[in-house]
Amino acid sequence: MTDTSALYQEVILDHNRRPRNYCAMADATIEERGVNPLCGDELTLYLRMDGDRIADASFQGSGCAISRASASMMTSIVKGKTRAEADALIEQFRGMATGQTVLDDLPPTLRVFAGVARLPQRVKCAVLPWHALHSALTGGTGSTAV
Amino acid sequence: MTDTSALYQEVILDHNRRPRNYCAMADATIEERGVNPLCGDELTLYLRMDGDRIADASFQGSGCAISRASASMMTSIVKGKTRAEADALIEQFRGMATGQTVLDDLPPTLRVFAGVARLPQRVKCAVLPWHALHSALTGGTGSTAV
Amino acid sequence: MSAIVPRSDFSLLSANPALVYLDSAATAQKPRAVLDAMNDFYETDYANPHRGAYALSARATERYARAREAVARFFGVRDEACVIFTRGTTDSLNVVAAAWGRANIGAGDEVIVTGAEHHANFVPWQQIAIERGAIFTICPLTADGRADVEVLAALVSEKTKVIAFNHVSNVLGAINPVAEIAAIARSVGALSVCDGAQGAPHMAVSFDALDVDIYAASAHKMLGPMGTGVLIGRREILDAMPPYQTGGDMIAFVGDEQTTWNVLPHRLEAGTPNVAGAVGLAAACDYLTAIGMDAVAAHERALVKVAHERVSAIEGVRVHGPSAAERSGVLSFTVADIHPHDLATLLDERSICIRAGHHCAQPLMRRLGVTATARASFYVYNDENDVEQLVEALKSAKRLFAVA
Amino acid sequence: MSAIVPRSDFSLLSANPALVYLDSAATAQKPRAVLDAMNDFYETDYANPHRGAYALSARATERYARAREAVARFFGVRDEACVIFTRGTTDSLNVVAAAWGRANIGAGDEVIVTGAEHHANFVPWQQIAIERGAIFTICPLTADGRADVEVLAALVSEKTKVIAFNHVSNVLGAINPVAEIAAIARSVGALSVCDGAQGAPHMAVSFDALDVDIYAASAHKMLGPMGTGVLIGRREILDAMPPYQTGGDMIAFVGDEQTTWNVLPHRLEAGTPNVAGAVGLAAACDYLTAIGMDAVAAHERALVKVAHERVSAIEGVRVHGPSAAERSGVLSFTVADIHPHDLATLLDERSICIRAGHHCAQPLMRRLGVTATARASFYVYNDENDVEQLVEALKSAKRLFAVA
Ligand SMILES: Cc1ncc(COP(=O)(O)O)c(C=O)c1O
Ligand SMILES: Cc1ncc(COP(=O)(O)O)c(C=O)c1O
Lowest mean pLDDT among C9-18, C222-231, D108-117, D332-341: D332-341
The model's pLDDT over C209-243, given as tens digits with 9 standing for 90+, comes to 999 999 999 999 999 999 999 999 999 999 999 99
Which tens digit of pLDDT belongs to each residue from D37-88?
Answer: 999 999 999 999 976 689 999 999 999 999 999 999 999 999 999 999 999 9
| Domain range annotation of chain B | 3-138
Q: Are D328 and D145 in contact (CB under 8 A)?
A: no
Burial (CB < 10 A; 0-12, 13-18, 19+), residue A17, is middle
Q: Give yes or no for B65 touching D (CB within 8 A).
A: no
Q: Distance between CA D330 and CA D29 in Å, rounded?
A: 16
Could you tell me which of D134, D89, D84 has the C-alpha nearest to residue D111?
D134
Across residues D299-310, what is the average pLDDT? 97
Beta bridge pairs of residue B51 = none
Q: Which residues line ligand 1 (CB under 6 A)?
A: C 88-90, 118, 120-121, 166, 170, 195, 197-198, 218, 220, 360; D 248, 271-272
Ligand at shortest distance from the CA of D217? 2
Mutate to test the interface with B, among D48, D56, D260, D264 (most CBs of B within 10 A): D260
> Any chain D CB within 8 A of the CB of A36?
no
Q: Does B6 touch chain D (CB under 8 A)?
A: no
Whether D90 contacts C271, CB under 8 Å: yes
Mapped onto helix, strand or coil, the DSSP state of residue D27 is coil
Residues of A in contact with D362 (CB under 8 A): 40
Q: Is pLDDT above 50 for A3?
A: no
Find how far residue B5's CA is from the centre of its chain.
Answer: 21
Residue D365 touches chain C, beta carbons under 8 Å: no
- Is pLDDT of C404 > 50? no
Other beta carbons within 10 angstroms of residue A98's beta carbon come to 14
Q: Do chains A and B touch (3 or more CB pairs under 8 A)?
A: no
Query: Quick check: CB of D90 below 6 Å from ligand 2?
Result: yes
d(CA C326, CA A59) in angstroms, rounded, equals 64
CA–chain centroid gap for C5, Å, is 21
C195 CB contacts (<8 Å, ≥6 apart)?
C89, C93, C117, C118, C120, C121, C164, C165, C166, C167, C216
How many angstroms separate the CA atoms of D353 and A2, rounded? 12
Q: Is the CB of C51 under 6 A from ligand 2?
A: no
pLDDT given at position A101: 76
Active-site annotation of C, residues: 360
pLDDT of residue C218: 98
Instruction: Spell out which residues of chain A touch residue D372, defining contact as CB-CB under 8 Å.
Output: 39-40
Q: Which of C44, C45, C48, C54 best probes binding to A when mutated, by most A CB atoms within 10 angstroms?
A: C54
Q: Does domain B3-138 have CATH number 3.30.70.420?
A: no
pLDDT greater than 50 at residue D229: yes
D132 CB within 6 A, ligand 2: no
Q: Which of C280, C387, C305, C350 is nearest to C3 (CA)?
A: C387
> A64 and D341 in contact by Cβ < 8 A?
yes
pLDDT one-digit tens code per residue, C380-403: 999 999 999 999 999 999 999 884
Contacts of C224 (CB under 8 A, 6+ apart): C30, C34, C277, C280, C281, C283, C284, C285
Say how far apart CA D263 and CA D251 lie, in whole Å.
8
Minimum distance, in Å, between the CA of residue A49 and any CA atom of chain D: 31
Strand partners, C376: C331
Radius of gyration of chain A, Cα coordinates, nearest whole angstrom:
14
Query: Where does A16-62 show beta strands of DSSP type E?
Result: 30-36, 41-50, 53-62
From the centroid of its chain, how far is CA C1? Answer: 25
Contact between residue C347 and residue C311 where contact means Cβ atoms under 8 Å apart:
no
Alpha-helix residue ranges (DSSP H) falling in D188-274: 207-210, 235-240
Phi first, then psi: what are they for B59, rounded to 5°?
-155, 165
DSSP state of D397: H
Q: What is the mean pLDDT of residues D288-301?
A: 98
pTM, to two decimals: 0.95
* Helix axes of D340-348 and D384-403: crossing angle, nearest 10 degrees: 120
Residue D6's contacts (CB-CB under 8 Å, 6 or more residues apart) are none
Closest Cβ opposite residue D39 in set C35, C46, C344? C35
Query: Looking at residue B122, what is its pLDDT?
Result: 87
Does the beta carbon of D359 lie inside 6 Å of ligand 2?
A: no
Other CB atoms within 10 A of residue C188 CB: 16
Can you give the pLDDT at residue D50? 76
Helix-helix angle C340-348:C384-403, to 10 degrees: 120
Q: Which residues contact B51 (CB under 8 A, 6 or more apart)?
A: none
**Residues of chain C above pLDDT 90, percent:** 95
Nearest CA-CA partner of C149 in C114, C125, C186: C114
Instruction: Specify the ligand 1 atom closest to the Cα of C88.
Output: 11
pLDDT above 90 for C38:
yes
C55-74 and C32-44 are packed helices; what angle lies between their axes, rounded to 10 degrees? Answer: 160
pLDDT band at D337 (very low <50, low <70, confident <90, very high): confident
> What DSSP designation does D178 have?
H
pLDDT in tens, C149-173: 999 999 999 999 999 999 999 999 9
Residue of A nearest to C261 (CA): A37
For A137, the 3-state DSSP assignment is helix
Given CB atoms, is A145 within the 8 Å cutoff of chain C? yes
Residue ranges of the alpha helices (H) in chain A?
A: 10-17, 65-78, 83-97, 120-137
Query: What DSSP line would sit under D52-106, residue for residue?
Result: --SHHHHHHHHHHHHHHHHHHHHTT-SSGGGEEEES-HHHHHHHIIIIIHHHH--
The pLDDT assigned to A109 comes to 87
Question: Which residues neighbour D215 within 8 Å (Cβ) at sequence distance 6 or greater?
Answer: D75, D167, D194, D196, D200, D205, D207, D230, D232, D233
D214-218 sheet: strands from edge to edge: D83-86, D229-233, D214-218, D191-195, D160-166, D110-114, D135-139
Q: In degrees, to the nearest 5, what angle opens at C-alpha C399 toward C-alphas C394 and C402?
A: 120
User: D358: helix, coil or strand?
Assistant: coil
Average pLDDT over residues C278-304: 98
Domains and CATH numbers, chain D: 7-22+292-401 (3.90.1150.10), 34-289 (3.40.640.10)
Measuring CA to CA, which residue among D118, D119, D150, D122 is closest to residue D136?
D122
What residues form DSSP beta bridges with C25? none
Q: Exposure of B95 by Cβ count < 10 A (0-12 exposed, 13-18 middle, 19+ buried)?
A: middle
Closest approach of C249 to chain A, Cα-based (Å): 7
Which residues, listed in sequence order, are joined to residue D218 by a DSSP beta bridge? D229
Which of D325 and C77 is assigned the larger pLDDT? C77
On the 0-12 / 13-18 / 19+ scale of CB atoms within 10 A, B23 is: exposed
Residue D385: count other Cβ atoms within 10 Å of its Cβ: 12
pLDDT at D404: 39
Cβ contact (<8 Å) for C51 and D272?
A: no
pLDDT digits (tens, 9 = 90+) for C119-158: 999 999 999 999 999 999 999 999 999 999 999 999 999 9
User: What is the rounded average pLDDT of the residues C292-315?
Assistant: 97
Residues in chain B, pLDDT under 50: 1-4
In the predicted model, what is the mean pLDDT of residues C339-361?
94
d(CA A110, CA A103): 10
CA-nearest residue of chain C to B39? C357
Nearest-10 Cα torsion for C316, C321, C322, C326: -120
In terms of Cα–Cα distance, which of D184, D183, D185, D179 is closest to D199? Answer: D179
DSSP D269-297: --SS--HHHHHHHHHHHHHHHHH-HHHHH
When CB atoms are compared, the residue of A2, A120, A145 closest to C263 is A145
pLDDT at B1: 39
- List phi, psi (to 5°) of C231: -120, 115
Q: Which helix (H) or strand (E) holds D191?
A: strand D191-195
β-strands D259-261, C352-353: how paired?
A: unpaired
Interface size, chain C vs chain D, as Cβ–Cβ contacts under 8 Å? 276
CA distance D252 to D267: 9
Q: What is the pLDDT of residues B10-19, one digit of tens each?
A: 889 999 999 9
Q: So what's the pLDDT on residue C52?
A: 64
pLDDT of residue D326: 87
Ligand 2 atom having least distance to the Cα of D168: 1
**β-pair partners for B53:** B50, B82
User: In terms of pLDDT, which residue wins out, A6 or C3?
Assistant: C3
Q: Is A122 on the interface with C (CB under 8 A)?
A: yes
Task: State the closest ligand 2 atom to the C-alpha of C247, by its place in the atom list counted from 1.
Answer: 6
- pLDDT-based confidence at D336, cuts 50/70/90? confident
If you write DSSP's letter for every residue of D373-389 in order, what string do you get?
EEEEE--TT--HHHHHH
Instruction: Return d(Cα C198, Cα C201) in angstroms, integer.
Output: 6
Chain C segment 155-194 residues within 8 A of D by beta carbon are none
Which chain C residues have any C-beta within 8 angstroms of a chain B C-beta? 337-342, 345-346, 348-349, 351, 356-358, 362, 365, 371-372, 400-401, 403-404
| C-alpha pair distances (Å), D282 with each of B13, C376, D55 | 42, 32, 22
Kindly state the average pLDDT of the residues A23-38. 91
How far does the centroid of ligand 2 lie from the alpha carbon of residue D76, in Å? Answer: 21
